[in-house]
Amino acid sequence: MRRGQARNAGFRALHCLSAEKGYTLWHKDLRSDDTPQEAGIGFTVSKLKLKNESFFGAKSLNIRQKTKSKEIAFMTLNDNNVCVWGLEPIYYENKIIGYVRRGSYGFSIDKSIAIGYLERDVGKVDSVMIEINGKLYSAQVHWEPPFDPKGLRIRGIYY
């Protein structure tokens, strides 16, 4: 590396890498109004705990899980010259179906990534439009993280 050349490191590198792998961040991707099932992390709350109501909030969570109205999605923009920051509206068939929670750049996949929640009643769509600065851009929807969705690389499997 030459002197003065910028390099991804620290917080920003973790921000980009977590977006690629689908590792959610508390204040951005996860909020108190999201259930674990909506956020794709339902495995963190065992059914036994929910059945026994052995933790604070289990009763409320059981009620909210039955009304799953949104689902987390990872979207990659087809135009790499555009940055996604967060709070941009997501459209499907000229209707707003969600908002971007966080945007980042995926250096491993060489694409801009948007993470947001999409309404469940539209189903598992393949592509959406994201409004950025008043202009619509097409994006491919990934229902699993866009980079290494099966988690093979973290286990040393690189094929």
pTM (2 d.p.): 0.82
State the pLDDT at residue 67. 63
Adjacent-strand bridge partners of 105? 112
Q: How far is CA 35 from the centre of its chain?
A: 14
Specify the 3-state DSSP secondary structure of 44.
helix
Cα separations in angstroms, 125 against 87, 92, 156:
20, 8, 32
**10 Å Cβ neighbour count for 9?**
8
State the pLDDT at residue 92. 97
In 3-state terms the chain splits into helix, strand, coil percentages (rounded to 5) of 20, 30, 50
- The domains found in the chain, sorted by start residue, are 1-21+69-159 (2.40.30.110), 22-65 (4.10.1250)
Q: Which stretches does DSSP call E strand in the chain? A: 70-77, 89-92, 95-106, 111-119, 127-132, 135-142
State the pLDDT at residue 42. 79
User: Tens-of-pLDDT digits for all 159 residues of the chain?
Assistant: 566 666 656 777 888 888 999 888 888 889 988 888 888 887 777 665 666 666 666 666 665 556 668 999 999 999 989 999 999 999 999 999 999 999 999 988 999 999 999 998 888 899 999 999 999 999 999 999 999 888 888 888 887
Q: Are 117 and 70 in contact (CB under 8 A)?
A: yes
State the pLDDT at residue 60. 66
State the pLDDT at residue 72. 95
Adjacent-strand bridge partners of 133? none
